[in-house]
């Protein structure tokens, strides 16, 4: 075993990065996480020491792999699973087209690549029986797909999760073959999903998520001598959960995957959340943490620190430190790809939403449909990674009327956002407004919290800023080279969280902040943004 002296501090992937799947190839570690309705699909982070991570790539970049137009909020890409076999990287993922109501339309796909950074293949359709697919490479080269199976007939919510389905996959035929069988139905906590299968010490070990992705979330393991079962549930029965300690700093812990270092040290990655102090609202969304395991031969694994609670500080393996340069807080724009920290929503045709070449040195957003459109929403945004941050931008924008607007938006989904926007009044003059949507999912009421719009000069640049401190959000602005002016209102930042929608179960992503342009008249009025700045505060605070 290696010398465990350094410390990993959780979460290792801060801000919206849920459902981690981890892979080691040689001395390189990769984590794939869900992106839901955000484009491009799947985030893959890279590390060489398990402590320091960098965003490496997003593999689903074109319409043949992923088209999210029309997808519901928190639909889209769920629970990717990354593996390596036969000289290829294999990535399976769900594209959830319907997630609300009794039915789930979940299409499961496979893409491959020789290099982790691509190019990645066009997808192979696998099945649509449920979500959270996982590919297991067994001895002798045989491969098996696992996913949870959806039972729309169930009378109770937890029974709609009908167990873990397993079926052989033929790489030669590029399709599933043989019977599909439910191999395990869970420990009794319910909502069994997120399967990963391992072979070790003559056992098949099945790791799953249970309890839903809220505050009852858990990681549970079962094992069998035979791939098809029967599986016996581990003691406890949960390997990891925070459900019994509501005051613990890392909540909603579940949906895990296991990796081993070359020295044989096992680690578990899992999702977690950091609720705001005194509030059960996780504005940074579901994040990724890592735990060291003890896994004696032939026994069920357990957390190295004992118990089931996720640790904030974890002993790191004795690997050489491999830090990466810090991410850029100040983002300038130049022709070429969009800066890696930024994403957009749903569309595989980004050229209809924005351009970095139309006006070199600026990000041009083409005003498209309304805030929350499921088809063409011209918004480019940055994850919120800490409870407290400042964000700023500067834009040039000439709206023709009140149906054109552009500015700085703090976003969760179509019915939870705060928007500081430049627009035009009834008489045609430019003005500044604030729009807030604070309703519960799936419908919210749009309100205008400023007593009256603020007049702006008829032309010239406008700087826009936001200051977020825990649950308090305050906008400010400056016209041209003038001084910053604080708006006379404070908004609720805690609404931009999973738990704020539909009794705490409305959605599963995280808060973003960024630039947006809307033109509901359909004339694609452009807005030019000169730069964007995101500066988190308190990055070492849990």
Percentages helix, strand, coil for the chain (3-state, rounded to 5) are: 5, 50, 50
Beta-strand pair 143-150/485-486: unpaired
276-285 b/e (C-beta count within 10 Å ≥ 16 → b): beeebbbbbb
Q: What is the CA radius of gyration of the chain?
A: 23
From residue 93, give the alpha-carbon distance in Å to each of 19, 109, 147, 524.
11, 6, 10, 33
Positions marked active-site: 376
- Ramachandran quadrant class, 247 (left: phi over 0; alpha: psi -120 to 50; beta: rest): alpha
DSSP 223: E
Give me the torsion for CA of 283, 286, 292, 298, rounded to 10°: 150
DSSP codes of every residue in 461-499: -EEEEEEEETTEEEEEEEETTPPPEE-S--EEGGGSSGG
CA distance 137 to 222: 18
From residue 505, give the alpha-carbon distance in Å to each of 96, 372, 497, 501, 502.
17, 19, 10, 6, 6
Indicate the burial class of 524 (C-beta count within 10 angstroms; 0-12, 13-18, 19 or more). Answer: middle
CA distance 218 to 538: 28
């Amino acid at each position: 075993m290696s010398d465990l002296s350094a410390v990993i501090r959780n979460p290792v992937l801060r801000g919206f990065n849920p459902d981690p799947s981890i892979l080691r190839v040689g001395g390189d570690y990769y984590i794939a996480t869900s992106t839901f309705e955000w484009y491009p699909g799947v985030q893959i982070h890279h590390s060489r020491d398990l402590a320091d991570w960098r965003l490496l790539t997003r593999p689903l970049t074109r319409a043949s792999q992923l088209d999210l137009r029309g997808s519901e909020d928190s639909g889209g890409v769920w629970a990717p699973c990354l593996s390596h076999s036969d000289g290829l990287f294999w990535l399976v993922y769900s594209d959830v087209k319907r997630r609300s109501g009794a039915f789930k339309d979940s299409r499961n796909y496979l893409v491959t690549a020789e290099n982790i950074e691509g190019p990645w293949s066009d997808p192979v359709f696998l099945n649509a029986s449920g979500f959270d697919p996982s590919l297991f490479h067994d001895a002798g080269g045989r491969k098996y797909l696992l996913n949870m199976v959806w039972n729309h007939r169930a009378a109770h919510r937890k029974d709609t999760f009908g167990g873990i389905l397993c079926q052989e996959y033929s790489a030669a035929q590029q399709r599933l073959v043989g019977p599909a069988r439910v191999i395990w139905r869970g420990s009794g906590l319910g909502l069994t999903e997120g399967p990963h299968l391992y072979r070790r010490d003559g056992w098949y070990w099945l790791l799953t998520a249970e309890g839903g992705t809220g505050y009852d979330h858990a990681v549970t393991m079962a094992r069998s001598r035979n791939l098809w079962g029967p599986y016996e549930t581990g003691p406890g029965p949960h390997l990891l959960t925070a459900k019994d300690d509501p005051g613990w700093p890392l909540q909603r812990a579940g949906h895990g995957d296991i990796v081993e270092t070359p020295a044989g040290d096992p680690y578990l990655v899992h999702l977690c959340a950091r609720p705001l102090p005194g509030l059960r609202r996780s504005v940074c969304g579901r994040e990724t943490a890592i735990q060291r395991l003890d896994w004696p031969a032939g026994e069920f694994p357990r957390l190295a620190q004992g118990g089931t609670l996720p640790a904030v500080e974890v002993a790191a393996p004795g690997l050489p430190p491999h830090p990466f340069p810090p991410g850029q807080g100040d983002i300038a724009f130049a022709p070429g790809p969009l800066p890696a920290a930024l994403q957009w929503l749903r569309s595989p045709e980004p050229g209809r939403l924005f351009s970095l070449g139309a006006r070199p040195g600026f990000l041009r957003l083409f005003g498209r449909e309304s805030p929350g459109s499921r088809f063409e929403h011209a918004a480019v945004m940055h994850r919120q990674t800490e409870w407290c941050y400042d964000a700023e931008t500067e834009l040039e924008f000439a709206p023709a009327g009140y149906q054109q607007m552009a500015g700085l938006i703090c976003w969760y989904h179509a019915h939870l956002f705060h928007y500081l926007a430049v627009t035009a009044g009834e008489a045609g003059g430019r003005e500044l407004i604030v729009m807030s949507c604070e309703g519960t999912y799936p419908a919210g009421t749009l309100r205008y919290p400023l007593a009256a719009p603020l007049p702006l000069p008829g032309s010239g640049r406008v700087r826009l800023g936001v200051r977020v401190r825990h649950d308090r959000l305050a906008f400010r602005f400056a016209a041209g080279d003038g001084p910053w002016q604080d708006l006379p209102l404070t908004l609720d930042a805690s609404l931009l969280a999973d738990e704020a929608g539909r009794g705490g179960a409305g959605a599963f992503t995280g808060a973003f902040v960024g630039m947006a342009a809307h033109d509901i008249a359909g004339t694609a009025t452009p807005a030019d943004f000169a730069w964007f700045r995101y500066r988190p505060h308190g990055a070492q605070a849990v």
